[in-house]
Amino acid sequence: MEPIRFVTPPLMANSYLLLDEKPSLIDVGGDSSFIVKAVSRHINPKEIKFVFLTHSHFDHAMACIDLKRWFGCKIVMHEKEFELLKSGYTLFGYRFYVEPDIIVKGGELFDLGELELEVIHTPGHTPGSVCYYEPKKKWLFSGDTVFAHGAFGRVDLPGGNAFELIESLKKLAELDVERLYPGHEDVIEENAKEHILKALEIAKIFL
C-alpha cells in the first residue's frame, strides 16, 4: 500500500490518504469540498476513520471541521496544538476551531492494519507540531517540520520557536527514514534521512 498524495487548496499543502484497514488521512488541506472529491475517487469518505493532523495551520487542517461533521472522522491532534488553536490565533487572516477527538502527547501508536503510525512530538514550527512515523516501512510524515532537500518549517509564525525546531530535527535525525512525506512540495522515496540531516545542518547555521 502506497500513500496517495493530494495537493490541496488554498496553499498547496500535501494531504496523504492511507487506504489501510482503518482508512486514514494525514492532513486534509483547507477546502473540504476539494478533499471530499479527491478522497471519493478512491473510497467512500464515510470510511475514513482517522484524520491525523500534523499541526493546526488552516492550510493543513481547516477542512477537518467538515470531515468530522459530515463523516464522523476522528480528529487526532497534539495537546499543545489544541491549546494554540483555543488561543484563537490568526494566520494570514484565517482562524478556525475544531474539537479534536483524540489528543496526543507523543509516543502513541496507532494500528491502522498494515501500517502503524507512531506520534513524534516535534515542536518548533508550532508548539504542537507532530510527525507520524511508520517504523516497518521507515516512512515519515513530517508536516511543516522538515521538507525535502534540507528545507525546514518557518519559526516566525504564532508559537514558533527556533531552538525547539533544531531539537526536533535532532530527534528526527536519529530515526531510520527511507521515505519522507512532507507537508509541502516533493516526496522523497529513497534515503530520506540524508534530507533530514541536511535540514539539521542548515537550521543550526541559520536559526
Judged by the rule CB under 5 A, the positions of this chain that interact with Zn ion are: 57, 144
Phi, psi of 157 (to 5 degrees): -100, 170
The nearest distance, CB 145 to Zn ion, in angstroms, is 9
Residue (144 or 164) nearer to Zn ion, CB = 144
Identity at 120, one-letter amino acid code:
I
Q: Which is nearer to Zn ion, 90 or 191 (CB)?
A: 90
Q: How far is the CB of 70 from Zn ion (least distance, A)?
A: 24
The least CB distance from residue 18 to Zn ion, in Å, is: 21
Q: Which residue carries 499541526 as its cell?
A: 55
The H-assigned helical ranges of the chain are 32-40, 58-61, 64-71, 79-86, 162-173, 192-206
Q: Which residues pair with 116 in a beta bridge?
A: 111
From first CA to last CA, the distance across the chain in angstroms is 37
Closer to Zn ion by Cβ: residue 81 or 144:
144
Report the residue number, 57 or 179, with the smaller CB distance to Zn ion. 57
Structural contact between residues 125 and 144, judged by C-beta atoms closer than 8 angstroms: yes
Residue number with CB closer to Zn ion (32 or 145): 145
* CB of 13 vs Zn ion, minimal distance in Å: 8
- Closest approach of Zn ion to the CB of residue 66, in Å: 20
How would you classify the pairing of strands 139-143 and 179-182?
Answer: parallel
